[in-house]
Structure 1
Amino acid sequence: MKKNQFNNTTKITIAFVVCSFLVILGIGIYQSLDTKEEVIYEQEEVVENEEENIDEQIVEDDQEIVVTDQEEIQEDSVEQQAETEQVETETEQEEVEFEEETSSSSTSQQEAISQVSIIIYGVNETMSSGTIQVAQSSTVYEVLLEYTTSQSMELKTSGIGTSIYVKGIGGLNEFDYGGRSGWTYTVNGNYLSMSCGAYEIGEGDVIEWIYANYE
C-alpha cells in the first residue's frame, strides 16, 4: 500500500515537473516570439521612417528645383525686359536722329531756294512777267515750266533732259511767223548757246524768253 502511494506521488511529481517545464518552455517561446515581433515592428518603423525621410528629402529637392527654375525664369524675364528696354531706347534714339536729320534736310532745302525774275516777250508785246521761287539748282527750263504752270500758260517742247527745246509758249509757236521764227532766251541779258535744260540759274537771275523772227 505504501509502495503504491509512493509511486503515485512520484508520478504526480514527475507530471507536475513536466507540466511546469512545458509551461516555462511555452512562456519562453511566447516571449521569444513576442520579442521577435517587437524587433520586426521596430525594423518596420525604422524602414517607414527612412522612407518618410527619403520622401521628405525628395520633396525638398523638388522644391529646391522648382525654386531654382523660378529664379532662372525670373532672371530670364529680367534679361528679356532689359533687352526690350534697350531695343526701345535704341529705336527712340534712331527716331530722334531721323527726325533731326529730316528737319535739318528740310531746313537746308528751305534755305536752298532762289528767287528769279522771268519775262516772256511775244510779238511786239510782253506776254507775261513775274518772280518765282525755285530750287537753287533749277535749270532755265524748269523755271519756265514752273512759271507757265502757275500762270496756266501752254508750253510745248521737244527732246528731254539737257537737250530739251521750247517750241511754244502761251499758244505762240515756232514757225508761226516764218520758217526762222521761234523762241530763244537770255539770262541777265546774255544770250546762251546751250539748251535751256542744261543751264542752272542763280539767286536773283533775270530770265527773258523772246520770240524772235530772223527773216
Structure 2
Amino acid sequence: MKRVRVLIGGPVSEWPAALQAGELTGPWVAADRGALRLLQLGVVPELVAGDFDSLAPAERNLVEQQVHKIVAVRPEKDETDTELLLRLLGEDETIDEIEIYGATGGRLDQLLSNIWIFTQLRFRDLVAKIKLIDRSNVVSFYLPGIHAIERLPEMTYLGFINLTAVENLTLLDEKYALQSWSSTTPFSWSSNEFTAKINHFSFDSGIVAVIQSRDLHGQQGD
C-alpha cells in the first residue's frame, strides 16, 4: 500500500505526539508553511505546493534550497494551497492513502474548508483515501455503500457527519443505532460509540465523514 503524508499550516499544538516528536516516516509532501515545519523536523518533503504567503523571504529561501519539487503559484488564485496539493496528488493513481496533518485548529474558515473540500466533484476519487489526523481526532470520508470501521485503540467516541444530502444512513451496530435516515442538508450524529472492535454503517447516496475522537486531559464529553 502506498501512503503519503501531508502537512499543511495548522497550529503545531494540534499535532499528534508522534508528529511533534518527528517519529512519522514519509513520504511527506507539504502545503505552504507545512514545508518549513517539516524541514525543522529534519524531514525534506518530496513535493511542496502553495503561494508561500505565510513565509518570510528567508524562510522561503530555505525551502527552495532544500526541496527539489516545488509548485509555486500567485496568492491571487482560485483554489487554496491544500486544494492545489490535493489536485497534484490526485494525478498519481498509485497512491492508496493520504494522511493530512495540520488541517485543524486555528481559523475556523480554514478548518471548514479542509473538511468540505471533499464534496467537490473533482476530488471524488480521493474521498476514500483521505484521513485528517490531529492529536484527538481521526476523520475519514466515505462514499455510498456498506462500510466497516475499525476502532482506533486510543479513541473513545464515534461521530457521523453527512457533508451533503444523504439517503438511508443506517448505523448498524453502534451503541446508538440509526435506521434509514435521510436529509437534504448536512447534519452531525456525534458522541456515538463502538460496541466491538469493528462496527458497520451504510448509506445510499451522498458523502459521510466519520470521526473517531477522544477527550483530552481536562475536557469532558457530551
| TM-score scaled by length of structure 1 | 0.19
* Rg (Cα) greater in structure: 1
Instruction: Name the structure with the higher strand share.
Output: 2
Instruction: Name the structure with the higher helix share.
Output: 1
| TM-score scaled by length of structure 2 | 0.19
